[in-house]
């Protein structure tokens, strides 16, 4: 009844078609996105068939004897259509695990798709993970999200908006990724001795492939960018992939003005606006200053969970 196969590049069109039909799918699972960093991750994605019909996809990569779903993505997880039932998903996991064991794998790290991305309820995988796979929650990151019912900005964020108005900050959509990347790289190096996950060239490539999903918004002073955010638009969620401001931008409330525009004008009707995670490493280290800013805009907690189990 069940058959599991490795993904092959020749099946990209079939894969992408299923992603669009699935109730958890976003453009991050499109092969045009997944394969941009194929040199860094050994793809081991799976197609799951039930009665010879494609039932599910598992975006995945291998690292030694471990399967990740997916190490190079913000979230991974089993993709299914509206018709998948709990019992069927449980059987699908049994078939996947048997296939992976036959290939010599010993461990699975599963990065679940957070519920906010689901077009319909889709937590059949969580039930199967804990009751079929005996998986344990290994990592929990916290993000900050706004729903259609928006909370008011805190006084500190309102003060920043007023300051930005006095400083003549202007905001709008842009394609000037090089200018924003200089701000982003400088800020990450100065504060965290880190670099962005994506290089400038990678982000420009991804924007060229998904111009309707990947957008850049900048805050500028006297015509020069001083802050900005890269937005990932998916069917259910508007997600800030990167947020950064220069020292000048921070001093003049650039991000406050930017998010005042995004939340009250550009994405006023968005069902979910997700600011992204504010926890580092394995989730235990909370970036308090970062989440303070996001909560000041009205964001409240939603978790991004990873599960782990032995085969």
Q: Give whichever of 39-48, 192-201, 278-287 has the largest mean pLDDT.
A: 39-48
The predicted model gives 230-252 an average pLDDT of: 96
Q: What contacts 24+ positions apart, CB below 8 Å, involve 245-250? A: 245/183, 245/187, 245/219, 246/183, 246/186, 246/187, 248/221, 249/183, 249/219, 249/221
pLDDT at 108 (0 to 100) = 98
- Model pLDDT, residue 105: 98
**Percent of the chain surpassing pLDDT 70:** 100
Query: Measured on CA atoms in the order 198, 201, 204, 210, is the torsion positive or negative?
Result: negative
pLDDT recorded at residue 284: 87
Whether the per-residue pLDDT at 283 is higher than 90: the answer is no
When computed from its CA atoms, the radius of gyration of the chain, rounded to whole angstroms, is 20
pLDDT at 137: 97
pLDDT in tens, 94-119: 999 999 999 999 999 999 999 999 99
* Residue 77 DSSP symbol: -
CA 194 to the chain's CA centroid: 19
List, in sequence order, every residue forming a beta bridge with 214; answer none if it has no partner: 232
Q: Which of 237, 241, 250, 168 is nearest to 206 (CA)?
A: 241
Cβ-count burial of 167 within 10 angstroms (0-12 exposed, 13-18 middle, 19+ buried)? middle
Model pTM score: 0.94
pLDDT tens figures, 135-148: 999 999 999 999 98
Residue 163 has pLDDT above 90, yes or no: yes
pLDDT per residue as tens digits for the range 9-60: 999 999 999 999 999 999 999 999 999 988 899 999 999 999 999 999 999 9
Burial of 13 (0-12, 13-18, 19+ CB in 10 A): exposed
- Least confident residue range of 166-180, 199-213, 275-289: 275-289
Give the pLDDT band of residue 180 (cuts 50, 70, 90).
Answer: very high
């Amino acid at each position: 009844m069940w058959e599991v196969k490795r993904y092959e590049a020749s099946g990209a069109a079939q894969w992408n078609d299923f992603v669009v039909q699935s109730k958890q799918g976003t453009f991050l699972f499109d092969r045009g996105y997944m394969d941009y960093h194929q040199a860094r991750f050994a793809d081991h994605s799976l197609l799951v068939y039930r009665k010879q019909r494609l039932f599910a996809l598992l975006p995945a990569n291998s690292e030694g004897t471990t399967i990740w779903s997916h190490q190079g993505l913000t979230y991974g997880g089993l993709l299914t259509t509206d018709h998948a039932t709990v019992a069927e998903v449980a059987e699908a996991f049994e078939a996947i695990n048997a296939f992976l064991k036959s290939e010599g794998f010993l461990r699975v790290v599963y990065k679940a798709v957070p519920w906010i991305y689901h077009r319909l309820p889709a937590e059949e995988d969580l039930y199967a993970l804990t009751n079929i796979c005996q998986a344990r929650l290994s990592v929990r990151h916290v993000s900050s999200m706004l729903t259609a019912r928006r909370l008011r900005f805190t006084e500190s964020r309102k003060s920043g908006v007023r300051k930005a108005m006095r400083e003549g900050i202007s905001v709008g959509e842009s394609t000037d990724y090089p200018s924003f990347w200089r701000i982003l790289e400088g800020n990450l190096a100065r504060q965290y001795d880190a670099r962005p996950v994506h290089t400038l060239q990678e982000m420009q490539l991804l924007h060229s492939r998904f111009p309707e999903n990947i957008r850049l918004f900048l805050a500028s002073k006297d015509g020069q960018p001083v802050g900005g955010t890269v937005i990932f638009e998916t069917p259910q969620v508007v997600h800030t992939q990167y947020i950064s401001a220069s020292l000048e931008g921070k001093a003049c409330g650039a991000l406050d003005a930017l998010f005042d525009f995004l939340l009250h004008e550009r994405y006023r009707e968005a069902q979910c606006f997700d600011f992204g995670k504010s926890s580092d490493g394995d989730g235990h280290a909370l970036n308090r200053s970062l989440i303070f800013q996001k909560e000041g805009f009205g964001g409240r907690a939603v978790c991004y969970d990873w599960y782990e189990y032995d085969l």
